């Protein structure tokens, strides 16, 4: 392990928070096969162990929003990788909890998976790691990731834990929503793109992200740094989407070519806003996690007022759709570079984009989602 934090004789114990997610599972599969580290998967509940527990690993269960419980799960680990996902409030809260848990457990380094979306999906030309951030993006997720990075920066001033931040772009691969959602949209006749897919797709195949995670966890020069990471190739959205369509038996004309939409800023829920307050941070120390999850579920399930009518229209053909996130992504004209990661981490994406896409399409077939359209 080049420029490693530990000698080869004593491989470091690396905790992986969020081991059951898309990125987490692939990280478990790849890092558990290595001999230069000892992986400790950490999940929220026993239900999340369905796949992870198939391997002989010292997995642990902990509440990601409790610093005390998480610290117990991180005992004896020298590095912690945080790959868990959540809503806007949870993202910011988890950043603080993870740092405090690492400090309490004696973890030396925290690798935080942020996102290139802190710069916006349609990032400005010239964007790099040092580009200024703001938290008034139209996408709530972007703002949460920015606030989480800021929270970590403030906490890291005490120098108890080294923080390394990774900002991947569009992470794809087997089990990826980008593949499954595109296949579903094509079959439903609602697949769409902007400008015939000419926008830049800042892609990163999941195995390449895992390699960046490994380097961020082990290379000494990474301490305190932030890295944009992606595939080596410059890729357009047509390069990404057309092979999926062709694999399912569709021509490029299956994508409705839409004009750039007017993106309406998302509104943060009152619950998410409350979870960002100091009052919630104090209260959450005394409220059981199950009660917090129940309160959130009840708030989400509260029925919205509906207009009743005696008349109902027969469903028509599916309308083409682009989410606000995808529309902004397809407007992008700037290829984010790996220059800093190459220089400080020695990052070289091990899987070419074309090979990553080939493996992804093979997974579509395996999952029963890749059969040609009738």
Give all domains of the chain, ordered by start, each with its CATH number: 13-288+318-366 (3.40.50.720)
* Backbone phi and psi for residue 229, each to the nearest 5 degrees, phi listed first: -135, 140
pLDDT reported for residue 7: 47
C-alpha span between 158 and 162 (Å, rounded): 10
In three-state form (DSSP H/G/I as H, E/B as E, the rest C), the secondary structure along the chain is CCCECCCCCCCCEEEEECCCCHHHHHHHHHHCCCCCCEEEEEECCHHHHHHHCCCCCCCEECCCCCHHHHHHHCCCCCEEEECCCCCHHHHHHHHHHHHHHHHHHCCCEEEEECCHHHHCCCCCCCCCCCCCCCCCCCCHHHHHHHHHHHHHHHHHHHCCCEEEEEEECEEECCCCHHHHHHHHHHHHCCCEEEHHHCCECCEEEHHHHHHHHHHHHHEHHHCCCEEEECCCCCCEHHHHHHHHHHHCCCCHHHCEEECCCCCCCCCCCHHHHHHCCHHHHHHHCCCCHHHHHHHHHHHHHCCCCCCCCCCCCCCCCCCCCCCHHHHHHHCCCCCCCCHHHHHHHCCCCCCCHHHHHHHHHHHHHHCCCCCCCC
- The β-bridge relationship of strands 192-194 and 203-205 is unpaired
pLDDT reported for residue 321: 80
Q: Which of 9, 8, 57 is nearest to 29 (CA)?
A: 57
C-alpha span between 171 and 212 (Å, rounded): 12
C-alpha span between 198 and 194 (Å, rounded): 8
pLDDT reported for residue 290: 58
pTM: 0.86
Q: Which residue has the tokens 């959130």?
A: 296
The rounded Cα 314 to chain-centroid distance in angstroms is 38
What are the 10-residue block averages of pLDDT along the chain, 374 residues in total?
52 93 96 92 89 83 96 97 94 97 98 98 97 96 97 97 98 95 94 96 98 97 98 98 96 94 73 56 57 57 47 63 92 98 98 98 91 62
Both tokens of 337, joined, read 């570079």
pLDDT reported for residue 364: 94
- 187-190: long-range contacts at Cβ-Cβ below 8 A with a sequence spacing of 24 or more? 187/248, 187/373, 188/318, 189/254, 189/317, 189/318, 189/320, 190/256, 190/318, 190/319, 190/320, 190/321
């Amino acid at each position: 392990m080049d420029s490693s934090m530990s000698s080869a004789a004593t491989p470091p114990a690396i905790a992986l928070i969020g081991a059951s997610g898309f990125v987490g599972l692939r990280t478990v599969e790849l890092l558990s096969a290595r001999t230069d580290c000892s992986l400790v998967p950490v999940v929220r509940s026993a239900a999340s162990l369905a796949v992870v527990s198939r391997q002989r690993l010292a997995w642990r269960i902990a509440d990601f929003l409790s610093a005390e419980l998480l610290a117990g799960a991180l005992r004896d680990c020298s590095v912690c990788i945080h790959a868990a996902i959540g809503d806007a409030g949870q993202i910011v809260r988890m950043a603080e909890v993870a740092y405090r848990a690492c400090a309490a457990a004696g973890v030396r380094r925290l690798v935080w998976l942020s996102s290139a979306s802190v710069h916006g999906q349609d990032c400005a030309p010239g964007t790099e790691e040092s580009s200024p951030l703001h938290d008034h993006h139209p996408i709530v997720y972007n703002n949460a990731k920015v606030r989480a990075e800021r929270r970590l920066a403030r906490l890291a001033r005490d120098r108890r834990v080294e923080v390394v931040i990774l900002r991947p772009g569009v992470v794809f691969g087997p089990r990826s929503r980008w593949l499954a959602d595109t296949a579903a949209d094509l079959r439903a006749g609602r697949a769409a793109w902007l400008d015939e897919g000419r926008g830049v797709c800042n892609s990163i195949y999941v195995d390449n992200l895992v390699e960046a995670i490994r380097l961020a966890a082990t290379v000494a020069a990474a301490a305190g740094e932030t890295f944009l990471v992606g595939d080596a190739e410059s890729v357009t959205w047509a390069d990404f989407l057309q092979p999926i369509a062709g694999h399912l038996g569709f021509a490029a004309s299956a994508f409705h070519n839409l004009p750039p939409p007017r993106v309406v800023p998302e509104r943060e829920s009152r619950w998410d806003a409350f979870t960002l307050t100091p009052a919630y941070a104090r209260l959450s120390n005394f409220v059981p996690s199950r009660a917090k999850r129940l309160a959130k579920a009840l708030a989400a399930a509260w029925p919205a007022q509906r207009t009743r009518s005696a008349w109902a229209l027969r469903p028509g053909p599916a309308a083409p759709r682009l989410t606000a996130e995808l529309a902004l992504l397809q407007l992008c004209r700037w290829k984010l570079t790996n220059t800093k990661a190459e220089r400080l981490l020695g990052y070289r994406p091990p899987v070419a984009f074309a090979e990553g896409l080939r493996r992804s399409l093979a997974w579509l077939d395996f999952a029963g989602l890749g059969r040609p359209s009738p």
